[in-house]
Amino acid sequence: MSTIVLAYSGGLDTSVLLKRLLLEGNDVIALTADLGESDGATGEGAVDAIAAISQKARALGAREAVALDVRQRFYDEYVLPAFAANVRYEGCYPLSAALSRPLIAALLVETARAYGADAVAHGCTGKGNDQVRIELGVRALDSRLQVRAPLRESPLSRPDAIAFAAEHDVPIAQSAAKPYSIDANLWGRSIEAGVLENPWNAPPEDAFGWTAAAQSRPTAATEIVVNFRAGVPSLEGDSGPALLAKLNILGGAHGIGRIDLIEDRVIGVKSRELYEAPAATILLAAREALERLVLTRDELRFKAGVDRKYAELVYDGLWYSPLRSAFDAFNAVSSNRVSGDVRLQLLQGCATVIGVRSPFALYDEGLATYGAGDRFDHRAADGFIHLAGLPLDRLAQVAAVAAS
C-alpha cells in the first residue's frame, strides 16, 4: 500500500480517481487548493464550495482532506509576474488554469513531504495540457517523488467515467446532457467537452457561469478607474484577490471576458476551449494602455516578443524554467514606470480604455499636436529622412548599375 497525495478538485475526473486509488488499496490524502473561485462561486461562496469538496473527499474514503487557502500566494507569486508579461496564449487566453498548475505542483510536493507520502497523483488525462504542467513542476521541485496519472495509465471516456461514478456512488455534477469539464480560479474559468467539441456548434448559455448573456447585460455603461503603482493594480482601494473577485463580478455583469478559442495544446492536437476571464480582460487592457504611454518604442517592441514567449512557456508547463525567471527580471525593471491611472468603460462585452495618465508619461502634447501649441521642429524631418533613406539610395544606385 502506498501513501498518495492526490490533487483533488471534487470534479468528475478526480472523484473517480480517488475512488479508483482507494479500491487499489492505497492510503490517499486529498489536497484541495482554494484559489478563490469555485465554478461561479465568489467570496464566501467559494470558501463554502472548498469546504464541501473536502467533505466529499472524506465521504469517499480519503484518509485526510487537506484544504489550503492559497489565494494570496497565487496572486503574488503567479498572477502578478504573468500579468507583468501581459499573458495571452495565442493572443487570446490569459492562462487562468495554466497559471495555477505550477502552484498545485508545489503544493503536492509540500504536502507529500509533510505526510511522508511515496507519490503524488493527478486526474489529468493523456490528452490534456495539465498532465505536462503538473508533472514537470513536480520533477523540477522534487524529482524523487513518483507521479501517478491513473487516467492516463487506464483511460476512461467521459461517459465511462460518469458510469463508474454512478456504479460506485460517487456524486458528480456532470450528466450525459451537461458533461462539461470546468476549472476555475480568481484569474478565470475554463470550460470544455460536450457539444463544445464540435467547433461548428455555438456555445450554449448553460456553459457560462460568470458572464451574463447579451440580453441580460446592462444597457448603460459602467466607468471605472484602475490605479497602478509599479505595475500593481488596484480599484477603489481593493487590490490582490479582492480586486480580481470584484472585477469578475463587475465585468461579468457586462459579459466581459468571454473567449471561444481553437488552441494548440502542448501535446500537438488542436482543442476547442471556452474561457471566462472578466478581471483578467479588464486589467490586461488597462495595463497595455498604460505601458504604451510610459515605455519607449524599443521597450515595447522587445516586450511584445518577451510577452509572447512568456505565455508559451507557462502554457507548455515550463514555469520553473530559468528563461521565465530571466523574463521576470526584465519585466520587474520595466514595471517600475508602470504607474498611473487608466479609465475604462464597461459595456456589452467590451472593456474600452477611454483615458490614461501617468507621472512617467512619454507623451508630450506640445510635440504631438497639430494645433496652435505645436512645438515640433518640422524642418528637422528633412535630415532624418535623408539619413534614414541612405541605404535605400545606395540600393537604388546598385540596382541601376546592375540593370545597365
Give the 3-state secondary structure of the chain. Answer: CCEEEEECCCCHHHHHHHHHHHHCCCEEEEEEEECCCECCECCHHHHHHHHHHHHHHHHHCCCEEEEEECHHHHHHHHHHHHHHCCCCECCCECCHHHHHHHHHHHHHHHHHHHHCCCEEECCCCCCCCHHHHHHHHHHHHCCCCEEECHHHHCCCCHHHHHHHHHHCCCCCCCCCCCCCEEEEECCEEEEECHHHHCCCCCCCHHHCCCCCCHHHCCCCCEEEEEEEECCEEEECCECHHHHHHHHHHHHHHCCCCEEEEEEECCCCCEEEEEEECHHHHHHHHHHHHHHHHHCCHHHHHHHHHHHHHHHHHHHCCCCCCHHHHHHHHHHHHHHHHCCEEEEEEEECCEEEEEEEECCCCCCCHHHHCCCCCCCCCCCHHHHHHHHHCHHHHHHHHHHHHHHC
Q: What does the block give as the cell for 311?
A: 505565455
Q: Could you give phi then psi for residue 305, rounded to 5 degrees?
A: -70, -40
CA 143, 146, 151, 153 torsion-angle sign: positive
Strand partners for 344 = 224, 353
Asked if 33 and 100 count as a contact pair (C-beta separation under 8 A), the reply is yes
Q: What number of residues does the chain have?
A: 404
C-alpha to C-alpha distance for 192 and 190, rounded to whole angstroms: 7
Active site residues: 13, 101, 130, 181
Angle between helices 12-23 and 158-167 (to 10 degrees): 60
Q: Of the candidates 171, 177, 86, 161, which has an alpha carbon nearest to the alpha carbon of residue 124?
A: 161
